[in-house]
Chains A and B, each alone.
Chain A
Amino acid sequence: MADMSLKKHEMAVQPPEIRNKNFDEVALGYTEEQAMAEAKRCLNCKNKPCTTKCPVAIDIPAFIQMVAQGDFEQAYKIISSSSSLPAVCGRVCPQERQCESKCVRAVKGEPVAIGRLERFVADRHNQSCTEDPTIPEPNGYKVAVVGAGPAGLTAAGDLAKKGYAVTVLEALHTAGGVLVYGIPEFRLPKAIVKKEIDSLKKLGVDIRTNMVVGRISSVDELLQEYDAVFIGTGAGLPRFMGIPGESLCGVYSANEFLTRINLMKAYEPNSDTPIIRPRRAAIVGGGNVAMDAARCAKRLGADEVYVIYRRSEQEMPARREEVEHAKEEGIIFKMLTNPVEILEGENKTVRGIRCVSMELGEPDASGRRSPVEIKDSAFDIELDCVIMAIGTSPNPLIRTTTEGLECDKRGCIVTLEDGVTTTKSGVYAGGDAVTGAATVILAMGAGKSAAAAIDKYIKDNK
């Protein structure tokens, strides 16, 4: 008999007043008892509506049944047959817009906590499992993967399991892409990412860091050495608003601010990488990156941290849990507010930001009601740091150095209907490099599709 309680079982978290001063993980995960109890809320629907909204089509009810029965390892096997980074996705997927949005239990009450259960299963496996995976028989073909982010790592894992010799070329000194430079430690501990990467290495994947493809070698050069190339270079180029004052000292792109903190560990005393520790900071934007930057600024010791977003909270693209956590931690939300100028203080520093108030008008192309400026509504907020988190676009490095690789006017790589086959023979792409900035799980889905397409391409051309 299913547990018919209307609410999810609570997951323990660090108290807000303590966690907003440290970088340790906020959410602490379920215990075995909590997980089994939550799993019993699942009705095990025959038509599996939750699975239809999962970009990698995990058999969600099947794994949850295993959790309910206490067979956690079997639950892990079910998840990992579809997802290569379960410990990551359980933490960073926007479940409320995917699997959990279709949960029948949500018709009356809260959905089953699918994300928390996925996280529990993956963490439990990682703690208890010590056996190395069996390395598959090599099939004699070589594939190069450009970029060690979610898309590239997923493609690499799937291809390695099929027997391909996979080399991953990563521009930074650490593999992981946005999982290491973007998402903070308190939301996704780097030890988890490292573990996932280590398990790829155990599968025989060769990860080469410090390799900037487009400079050290071109995609064409890679095609001479490899049977196919996958491009998963993400959307790393930060956007700015184009308002006065964006070049002042104290204005960061969210990418720079987060990279200094997450990849370079600038908050640790023994790191050589400097960072401004703001007293009063504003983050412009309403996505997960904005939430991450705001919560990092707070943890660096800022007294006041604002999130400035031009639409209302309802339209914010950030994951619901992150918004709630940010509020609990004391982040101040300035909704329906748009910056028009960053105000200059002494010596080209920031002394504040000038904003106007907005109201919601007619729905725009995205289907969201578009913000319209309210006349004579300008006001200033006193600040010493502004962080721009208004989106990113794909890096031009590959596009400008690869002939025959078609890109659209936003700079995204053009693909066939399958979403991964590019206009250049033998070259596949996926993730943010194709879609523009999106989510970890969508990039992983693309990595999976690309691995299948590459496998077919190579076998067909034998």
Chain B
Amino acid sequence: MYLIKRKKELNSTVTLMDIYAPEIAKKARAGQFIILRVDDQGERIPLTVADYSPEEGTVTVIFQVVGTSTMKLNAKREGEYIEDFVGPLGRATKVDGFKRVAVVGGGVGCAIAYPVAKALSQNGVEVVSIVGFRSKELIILKDEFERVSNKYIVMTDDGSAGQKGLVTDALGALLEAGESFDEVIVIGPLVMMKFVSLLTKKYSVPTVASMNPIMVDGTGMCGGCRLTVGGKVRFACVDGPEFDAHQVDFDEAIKRGGMYREHEQHSRESCNLFKNN
């Protein structure tokens, strides 16, 4: 059992939790993920490490409430426990050997983009962060990003904060203006990552996408997380989660991501936990 040491709502559907897991906190690096199970009947769900504190012994996860498992997790309170918490899994992000990197985050993907930006900045890399949200109320980790970024650009769909438009508009403008990046790291919805990738390909900027496909074990055993990258089958859990975005078959990943959509809808309607409330 793993203690929820802190719980904080970042916006109406996104929650942050610090989980007490000292051994994982000691080993975790930006870009890696954990798998958790809320209770005995729970599904194994992968969440990328949003932060870690070896001193406090905690690992931070940030999640959006989208289905049964994240609803159940969100129903847990500070001081309560979750059943299983395993990690760190996957390969860590490469955060050194660069001069200037653009970190592009979309929605709750910013939770993953933030530790990457932070690690880059700690390694002396100049960080330009471009984050996109639907509207002002949904913005998360603003102060954190500002602290670790040399430039911080907010885009909103409705223009209620920052500039009105998409992250690709902001990134495209910078690239068009001749700004150079050693690498672009993009983390967010698959559609967003696809279009960022198409954009940077045009400008020949190396781009890394952090993939978050459906997974069971997270150790290479199930193959459920397989993606086509450069025409080859790769497992996000052991070969990733980050891949060369220009090689990823995003259209396939989008379809595979929707494999259980019907099940999710059904289980949300019938989940006893929420019926009783």
Residues of A within 8 A of B (CB): 171-173, 181, 209-212, 215-217, 236-238, 240, 242, 246-250, 252-253, 255-256, 259-260, 264-265, 270-274, 276, 347-348, 395-397
Number of B residues near A (Cβ < 8 Å) is 43
B69 (CB) vs chain A CBs: closest residue: A272
B2 (CB) vs chain A CBs: closest residue: A210
Partner of B42, one of A272, A276, A395: A272
Q: Tell me which residues across on chain A come within 8 A of B233, comparing CB atoms.
A: 240, 242, 246-247
Residues of B within 8 A of A (CB): 23-24, 27, 37, 41-44, 68-69, 72, 83-89, 216-224, 226-228, 233, 238, 249, 252, 255-256, 258-260, 263-264, 267, 272
Question: Do A272 and B224 form a contact, CB below 8 Å, given A171-B219, A173-B84?
Answer: no
**Per DSSP, are chain A's interface residues mostly helix, strand or loop, or mixed?**
loop
Q: Is the CB of B267 within 8 A of A274?
A: yes
Q: Identify the interface centre among A171, A242, A265, A395: most chain B CB within 10 Å of its CB.
A: A171
Question: Do A256 and B238 form a contact, CB below 8 Å, given A171-B219, A209-B84?
Answer: no
Rank and list the top 7 A-B pairs by shortest CB-CB distance, nearest first: A348-B255, A256-B222, A274-B263, A210-B86, A253-B223, A272-B43, A236-B221
Q: Is the CB of B222 within 8 A of A255?
A: yes
Q: Tell me which residues across on chain A come within 8 A of B226, comparing CB atoms.
A: 240, 247
Q: How far is the CA of A459 from the CA of B78 in the complex (A)?
A: 49
Q: How far is the CA of A217 from the CA of B26 in the complex (A)?
A: 10
Q: Is the CB of B264 within 8 A of A259?
A: no
B259 (CB) vs chain A CBs: closest residue: A249
Instruction: Kindly provide the distance from the CB of A281 to the nearest chain B CB, expressed in whole angstroms.
Output: 15
Q: How far is the CA of A172 from the CA of B44 in the complex (A)?
A: 10
Pairs across A and B, CB under 8 Å, 23 listed: A171-B217, A212-B86, A212-B218, A212-B219, A236-B220, A237-B220, A240-B226, A247-B228, A249-B258, A249-B259, A252-B224, A253-B224, A255-B223, A256-B223, A259-B217, A270-B272, A271-B41, A272-B43, A272-B68, A272-B267, A274-B264, A396-B220, A397-B220
Instruction: Kindly provide the distance from the CB of B74 to the nearest chain A CB, expressed in whole angstroms.
Output: 14
Q: Identify the interface centre among A240, A272, A396, A397: most chain B CB within 10 Å of its CB.
A: A272
Q: Is the CB of B23 within 8 A of A216?
A: yes
Q: Tell me which residues across on chain A come within 8 A of B41, comparing CB atoms.
A: 265, 270-272
Question: Do A171 and B86 form a contact, CB below 8 Å, given A273-B43, A397-B220?
Answer: yes
Q: Is the CB of A249 within 8 A of B255?
A: yes
